[in-house]
Every structure is written in structure tokens, then in C-alpha cells.
């Protein structure tokens, strides 16, 4: 599978919570879990069930970044991944910040250069990648 989304995290489905229209799929990637809120139709079409291998896909533009190593307690986003910044690449207006979160897995965010500067984001610094469950796509091979 080739797609333009930078973040493709392979793991194993650890839970599926079914709802009337949507469900929440939890994928274990290393020591972290990623939650995806997708339709029940997609869950059934993909055959998602506990133990199935799956890939969480997240566009870099859907990743928020917080400086520091602490998860934010009062926020609606279900996915928060503390880690270490391994790369900062600035462009003319926006830049990419890559955060290593677990077992070598990385999440890249596309954010403004102004945000990179204001948050003091630099290689080696602690940061938290934040992603809403509705921004996580799920793929299977």
C-alpha cells in the first residue's frame, strides 16, 4: 500500500467497541495504544477483531504537538503520545516535527514554523503528539 499520509503505524487490534453507527478500534503499537473512531461498516468490511494486524494511518496535518513530556489531562483527544523529538525540518511557512514515541515508532506533525518557535521544539526535546480518534484511519493487508 502506498499513500501520502506520513504516519503509518503497524500494530495489532487489542479491542473493538461496537456502537450503532460507529465503533472505536484500539490498536496496540509497541507500548502505546491508538484509538480510531470509524464506522461499523468499515470495521466489518476490514474484518477488525482482537488479534488482527492493522495499520493506524494519520495525516501529519492532523497531529497536534505539545511541548514537554506530560499527557494533557483535560482534552478530548483520545490519543496522546509522549516522546522525544528526533527531527525538525522547517519550510517557508510550515515545518515537520518527528517525535519518536515507542519502540522506534515515529509520528510526524506538520505545523507552522511560528508554532515550532513558540513551543521551543528542537531535536532531543520532549514533546507529546496529540491526535483525535476521528483522525485515525485503519488499514489491513
Q: What is the DSSP letter of 71?
A: P
Please count the other Cβ atoms lying within 10 Å of the Cβ belonging to residue 52: 15
Ranges of each domain in the chain: 7-58+135-139, 60-133
Instruction: Give alpha helix (H) positions in the chain.
Output: 40-46, 113-119
pLDDT, averaged per 10 consecutive residues of the chain (141 residues), comes to 91 98 97 97 98 98 96 93 98 98 93 98 98 98 91
Instruction: Please report the pLDDT score of residue 27 as a whole number.
Output: 98
Are 77 and 65 contacting, i.e. CB atoms less than 8 angstroms apart? Answer: no
Instruction: Please report the pLDDT score of residue 61 as a whole number.
Output: 97
7-58+135-139 and 60-133 share one fold? yes
From its phi and psi, is residue 114 left (phi > 0), alpha (psi between -120 and 50) or beta?
alpha
Q: What is the spatial distance between Cα 72 and Cα 18, in angstroms, rounded to a whole number?
A: 26
Instruction: Please report the pLDDT score of residue 4 as a whole number.
Output: 93
> CATH for 7-58+135-139?
2.40.50.100
- The CATH class, in words, for 60-133 is mainly beta
Instruction: Please report the pLDDT score of residue 103 as a whole number.
Output: 84
Instruction: Please report the pLDDT score of residue 102 as a whole number.
Output: 83
Please tell me the total number of residues recorded for the chain in this structure: 141
Instruction: Please report the pLDDT score of residue 2 as a whole number.
Output: 85
Instruction: Please report the pLDDT score of residue 66 as a whole number.
Output: 97
Instruction: Please report the pLDDT score of residue 120 as a whole number.
Output: 97
- Cell readout for 22 is 460507529
pTM for the model stands at 0.94
Amino acid at each position: 500500500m502506498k499513500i501520502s499520509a506520513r504516519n503509518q503505524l503497524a500494530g495489532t487490534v487489542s479491542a473493538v467497541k461496537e456502537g450503532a453507527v460507529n465503533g472505536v478500534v484500539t490498536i496496540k503499537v509497541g507500548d502505546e495504544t491508538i484509538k480510531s473512531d470509524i464506522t461499523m461498516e468499515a470495521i466489518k468490511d476490514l474484518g477488525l477483531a482482537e488479534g488482527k494486524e492493522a495499520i493506524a494511518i494519520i495525516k501529519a496535518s492532523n497531529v497536534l504537538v505539545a511541548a514537554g513530556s506530560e499527557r494533557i489531562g483535560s482534552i478530548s483527544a483520545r490519543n496522546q503520545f509522549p516522546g522525544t523529538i528526533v527531527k525538525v525540518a522547517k519550510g517557508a511557512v510550515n515545518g515537520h516535527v518527528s517525535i519518536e514515541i515507542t519502540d522506534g515508532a515515529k509520528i510526524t506533525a506538520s505545523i507552522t514554523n511560528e508554532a515550532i518557535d513558540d513551543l521551543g521544539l528542537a531535536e532531543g526535546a520532549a514533546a507529546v503528539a496529540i491526535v483525535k480518534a476521528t483522525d485515525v484511519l485503519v488499514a489491513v493487508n
